[in-house]
Structure 1
Amino acid sequence: MNPPSMEKTTVEQISAPPMGEPAAVDVEYAWQGNNRVVLLENGEAYFPRVFEAMRQARTEILLETFIVFEDKVGNELQQVLIEAARRGVRVTVSFDGFGCGELSTGYLAALNEAGVHIQIFDPAPKHLGFRTNWFRRLHRKIVVVDGTIAFLGGINFSADHLADFGPEAKQDYSVEVQGPAVADIHHFALLQSGRPARAKYWWQRRRQRRSELAFSDHDGQVRLVYRDNGDHRTDIEEVYRQVLRSAQRRVVIANAYFFPGYRLLREIRNAARRGVEVRLILQGQPDMLVAKLAARMTYDYLLKSGVQIHEYCERPLHGKVALVDEDWCTVGSSNLDPLSLSMNLEANVLIRDRAFNRELFERLEDLSANHCKAMSPDKAPRGRVWHMTVGFLVFHFLRHFPAWAGWLPAHKPRLKAFIHPAGSDHHEPL
């Protein structure tokens, strides 16, 4: 279905008054067993599965995403959501005001007229032709259908996640989850959308910080972790640091935007120093040059400690995945850079499943062996006085950035409900 108008949206003119900040979720979700988890690599695997699940939806679709483009993927998403809403499925979508800021009024209005509940996270007008709402983005990519199947990862609804897009097509990963863990993802997505969710009992509300060191005798265990600007500012980073300290044999991290803080860099270095095989797969053909330049600032520090670094050079790497030993994995939306670790709203799933770990390892092994360039200490940017000086300053900036980020003057991002400019009343106040 083509949108009725290609006029560009000005969200602040066609939205209801602010509904407030996304709901705080003061709970750390526990490990849930007996789940089925499927790795979905790139849009070729992800889009057919998520669209089919939406087409089979009977009661509810919850969707959060950073980017939707009006291309063949975005238009198919629009059509699938319209069809679901028209057959009586309650559809609630949350679009980021920066990543989805170029969607036309017609695209959004067609969804709204069909009964889709649309909300925009932190919309803002352009100033002198440029967007200014760069920071504190809704960066999560979550879909939950009927409370029984969930999708979570790094893939946006855009055609640049498909190989036929060309040299700029992204390499990325997501997961499909079915089982008890979906209830936690559903609960989280409901609260974030402003919808009421069943209250947790007091023993469920209590913070449930479970050790990542604990060995699991059962596969199919999944746990949701997230980052917000409230009580869970460092949860994802802390999980990474904890599993790195516990690693015994191997660590593989594939991450698009790699510029972590000092403490995480130190845990990566320390794991390699004690004999763990640590491999990083990073961008060699970046979609943003600054990402490659920033990552390379860390190479000398890591390579001289025995960390293996491989740059993926075939197309832009957009993945946010990692595995430790033969049991533990994570897939999600969080990069290992200051924006994801200190500002954006992010969500990952942690997975304890040997078969899933083995499959992810084999995919990343093929990627690093056949499609990457291995970096060596002599190739690392080093040796010049100016570079050593810049490296020193950047390194210590990384060390202190998370604390400094909290001092930055910042508005509190808001959710705004989209209402058809003609006055459609399909939206119910949340």
Structure 2
Amino acid sequence: MALLDGGAEAYPRMLRAIDSATRRVHLEVYAFERDGVGSRFLSALTAAAHRGVEVKVIVDGWGSIGESRALATTLRAAGIKVRIHNPLTSLLLGRIWRNHRKILLVDDAVAFLGGINIGDHYAAQEGRAGWADLALELRGDICARLGAKLNAGASTLEAGPVRLLLSGFGGGWRLRGRYLAALAQAQRRVVLAHAYFLPDRGFVLALKRAAKRGVEVHLLLAGRSDVPFARAATQRLYRTLLKAGVRIHEWTATTLHAKAAVVDDQRLLVGSFNLDPLSLVNLETLVEVEDADVAAEATRWMERHMGLSTPVGLEDCERSGVRRWLLEVVGLAVARFAERFASFVGSRRMRRRG
């Protein structure tokens, strides 16, 4: 088991795993860009298929917008099974929920899960630092169990120190529950690094309770975002969290894309699952690891990024004037829209299943 720092560490190991595949490759990502590092993945996947490996690729129709059709054509020409999850045409039929998972499984023996898609953003390019993100490389029994449950909907898989959750319909609530359990059990320190931080009131209350009972709670959040107005929606929560004793750090060096937490330097949670309304209804993954060595590596990653981040104080939230008012209005509007959109998506899926 290894914690991987962004695409710079993850991509070479993922490509080596594909190159060594003898039986099966399953790649499932939200976004897959064909150029740059994506071309290396296309070559590796094609070579695997040509030597007789069963290769399947699933990409999301929205996450890979503009890429999915050409990507599918290229892969199918090599004999690879391709699925575009809810392509844009499906919007006309009301199928608007997304596949947000990031999974590479090779020979049911090695797996990579986390927040990293396939694209040049996630690794340094010509002096430009890559997005801040994390992935886990897993080996052993948990990979075989994952291979058996990839198409089984909501699943909870356990092997040794690893618990792996796959969300199905409404399964995001189970993943949220693992975060809440970790917060409730924390005794000394919790650090959460989350790119799109739009938690519900219950989750905010859990953070405040942890801080008020003496747990050191840190939030590493995006000082800039690839999603318009997402930061404004997050900033509206700053004042109430800071007053409760939660410490906030904004990462501005690059785009923060991580979805992870470390509890008491003993437990790591990492995956594709965001603490926002949409992850409650999309297809997601969450890996929970009770391993001191991996948790220590994650702690070092968190501390390194917090040390290079901008601390946010209560005085930063008390500024008066039009800017603060606009921030509150825009942030609240974005948060409410996300909540209502997620509720609408969930209701559509329920009606279809019923």
Same fold, TM exceeding 0.5? Answer: yes
- Matched with 1:294 is 233
Residue aligning to 2:164: 224
Structure 2 match to 1:379: 316
Aligned to 2:288: 350
Alignment RMSD (CA, Å): 3.2
Instruction: Tell me: CA distance 1:165–1:309, structure 2 relative to 1, closer, same or farther (3 Å).
Output: farther
Amino acid at match of 2:289: I
- Alignment partners' CA distance in 1, 2:304 and 2:330: 36
More helix by share: 2
Q: Is the 8 A contact 2:281 2:345 kept in 1?
A: no
The correspondence of residues 87-236 of structure 1 with structure 2, limited to 5 A, is: 87-103=51-67, 105-125=69-89, 135-164=96-125, 169-191=130-152, 221-230=161-170, 232-236=171-175
Cα distance in 2, alignment partners of residues 289 and 404 from structure 1: 16
- CA–CA distance in 2 between the matches of 1:390 and 1:283? 16
Q: Could you tell me how far 1:289 is from its partner in structure 2?
A: 4.0
Cα distance between partner residues in 1 of 2:94 and 2:252 = 30
Tell whether the 8 Å contact from 2:236 to 2:328 is kept in structure 1 after alignment. yes
1:126: Cα distance to partner?
10
Contact 1:280 1:309 (8 Å CA) reproduced: yes
Q: Distance in 2 between matches of 1:332 and 1:409?
A: 21
Question: Is this contact kept in 2: 1:279–1:309, CA < 8 A?
Answer: yes
* Higher RCO (CA 8 Å, separation ≥ 6 residues): 1
Q: How many residues align?
A: 350
Counterparts of 1:236-385 in structure 2, within 5 Å, are: 236-340=175-279, 342-369=280-307, 371-380=308-317
**Matched residues in 2 for 1:396 and 1:229: separation?**
26
Q: Distance in 1 between matches of 2:208 and 2:214?
A: 10
- Determine the C-alpha separation between the residues in 2 that align with 1:133 and 1:50: 35
Q: Is the 8 A contact 1:261 1:398 kept in 2?
A: no
Q: Contact 2:113–2:137 at 8 Å: present in 1 too? A: yes
CA distance in 1, matches of 2:52, 2:341: 47
Q: Aligned letter for 1:90?
A: E
How far 1:168 moved relative to its partner? 7.4
SS in 2 for 1:164: coil
Task: Name the aligned partner's letter for residue 178 of structure 1.
Answer: R
CA contact (8 A) 2:15 2:41 kept: yes
Question: 1:235 Cα deviation (Å)?
Answer: 0.6
Contact 1:261 1:401 in 2 (8 A): no
Q: Which amino acid aligns with 1:285?
A: R
Pick closer, same or farther for the CA change 1:408–1:175 going to 2, 3 Å: closer
What CA deviation, in whole Å up to 9, does each residue of 1:47-66 have, x standing for no partner? 00001000000000011100
Give the match's secondary structure for 1:336: coil
Given that 1:297 and 1:381 are in contact with CA atoms closer than 8 Å, whether structure 2 keeps it comes out as: no
Report deviation, 1:393: 10
How has the CA–CA distance of structure 1 residues 136 and 40 changed in structure 2, closer, same or farther, with 3 Å as cutoff? same
- Give the drift of 1:208: 7.4
How far is 1:103 from its partner? 1.5
Counterpart residue type for residue 120 of structure 1: I
Q: Decide whether aligned partners of structure 1 residues 126 and 222 sit closer, same or farther in structure 2, where only a CA change above 3 A counts.
A: closer
1: distance between equivalents of 2:133 and 2:68?
26
Residues in 1 aligned to 2:333 and 2:75: alpha-carbon distance in whole angstroms: 47
State the AA in 2 paired with 1:255: H
Q: What do the CA deviations read for 1:193-241 (whole angstroms, capped 9, x no partner)?
A: xxxxxxxxxxxx9x9799xxxxxxxx960011133324x2401111111
Unaligned runs of 5+ in 1: 1-36, 193-204, 211-218, 414-430
User: Following the alignment from structure 2 to structure 1, what is the Cα–Cα distance between the partners of residues 133 and 290?
Assistant: 20
> In percent, how many aligned pairs have the same letter?
33
Query: Secondary structure, in 3 states, of the residue corresponding to 1:316?
Result: coil
State the 1:113 CA deviation. 1.6
**SS of aligned partner of 2:217:** strand
**Distance between the aligned counterparts of 1:221 and 1:362, measured in 2?**
20
With the length of structure 2 as denominator, give the TM-score of the two structures: 0.89
The 1:160/1:79 distance shift into structure 2, 3 A limit, reads same
Change (3 A) 1:287 1:64: same
Secondary structure class of the residue paired with 1:406: helix
Larger radius of gyration: 1
2:82 is the alignment partner of 1:82? no
Work out the CA distance in 2 between the residues paired with 1:103 and 1:389: 36
Gaps of 5+ in 2: none
Deviation at 1:348, TM superposition (A): 1.0
Q: Report the secondary structure of 1:163's partner residue.
A: coil
